[in-house]
Amino acid sequence: MLYINEPSIIIGKHQNLYSEINLPYVLANNIHLARRISGGGTVYQDLYNLNFSFIHESENLNKINFAKYTSPVLDSIRDMGVNAQFSGRNDFLIETKKVSGNAMHIFKTRVLSHGTLLFNSNLKVLSAALRNNPEKYFDKSIKSVRSKVTNISDYLADRIPMDLFVESLFQNILTKIKDPYLNSINDQETKSIKNISTQKFQTFEWIYGYSPKYIFHNSFKFIEEPVRFCLNIEKGIIRSYQILRENKEDFEYQSVFEILVDSRHEFNSIMELLKGNEILNSNLKFSLSDFCIHLF
């Protein structure tokens, strides 16, 4: 399958979402957030990034490897005149720069192998969206390895539009597969896909709650008073908090933090929870969104 997503950040199954992204930038630019069922690191996708997926049956799981399943795609890119190489990190590289990240998921004898292809993506947006501060998070999640990236289109002899690249790549891939045939997704399958997406992959429990438990800590000046704090989060829910100061009993605004206990650690949920809070509303220098962004 070849497919394209709207501007999105897709994290690996065992990653902490917030430690991988630049949340203020993501919110300001309406970038979708998602979690996939395969492992590996975080990727940014947009309308000029092409995704590919292979689903295989394999009785011998010991012989499964990325190079085997991605070779039709890599060879097809080479056929288009691009000197791409397969790296030891299961990536495609052009001149040491990454153009494709790959991941895999195994269920019984079924193997899902999939990856990205940066064709002509906005690399400035990619860089800004993934500019994170993982030091604020204490957890045991899988961390992404940052890499220099580039676009495949910059290495083609002739500049071609996205749709022509997709068609050329697809036809090339077909020549690498023995006895290929095309199978369209029918209406019933489309309905099932949408149901699975709604019931699992778009839920808070999957996107946010699947993150390993973590401790978030930060410091900022809250209504002219410096405060250091930490939040204990499990399954996406704020279980407890701590105000880190010598005289925490004298911290006048502790009640604002108390409201957070048992709430979702998710920006819009906290914004809604604190909407109309008297302490925040009484201070014109400190907006609700200013406060909430410090909690991530």
Domain CATH for 286: 3.30.390.50
**Cα radius of gyration (the chain):** 22
Write down the residue that tokens 């906005």 correspond to: 122
Q: Is residue 208 part of a domain?
A: no
Q: What range does the domain containing 280 cover? A: 214-293
If asked whether residues 174 and 280 sit together in one domain, one would say no
Distance CA 46, CA 121 (A): 6
Whichever domain contains 92, its CATH number is: 3.30.930.10
Q: Is residue 199 part of a domain?
A: no
Q: Is 91 helix (H, G, I), strand (E, B) or coil?
A: strand
If asked whether residues 179 and 224 sit together in one domain, one would say no
If asked whether residues 126 and 55 sit together in one domain, one would say yes
Q: What is the pTM of this model?
A: 0.91
Residue 155 scores a pLDDT above 90: yes
Q: Is residue 173 part of a domain?
A: yes
If asked whether residues 50 and 177 sit together in one domain, one would say yes
Residue 235 contacts residue 218 (beta carbons within 8 Å): no
Q: Which residues lie across from 93 on neighbouring strands?
A: 85, 98
Residue 12 contacts residue 41 (beta carbons within 8 Å): yes
If asked whether residues 183 and 278 sit together in one domain, one would say no
Residue 248 scores a pLDDT above 70: no
pLDDT confidence bin for 79, thresholds 50/70/90: very high
Residue 279 scores a pLDDT above 90: no
Write down the residue that tokens 């979702």 correspond to: 264
Residue 238 contacts residue 266 (beta carbons within 8 Å): no
Write down the residue that tokens 């492992």 correspond to: 39
Final residue before a domain boundary, out of 190, 224, 250: 190
Distance CA 99, CA 49 (A): 10
Final residue before a domain boundary, out of 156, 190, 224: 190
Closest CA to 216 of 224, 206, 208: 208
If asked whether residues 67 and 170 sit together in one domain, one would say yes
Q: How far is CA 58 from the centre of its chain?
A: 28
If asked whether residues 154 and 7 sit together in one domain, one would say yes
Q: Express each pLDDT in 4-61 by its tens digit.
A: 999 999 999 999 999 999 999 999 999 999 999 999 999 999 999 999 999 988 877 7
Distance CA 295, CA 285 (A): 18
If asked whether residues 131 and 7 sit together in one domain, one would say yes
Q: Is residue 282 part of a domain?
A: yes
If asked whether residues 276 and 178 sit together in one domain, one would say no
Domain count, the chain: 2
Q: Is residue 139 part of a domain?
A: yes
Q: Express each pLDDT in 81-117 by its tens digit.
A: 999 999 888 899 999 999 999 999 999 889 999 999 9
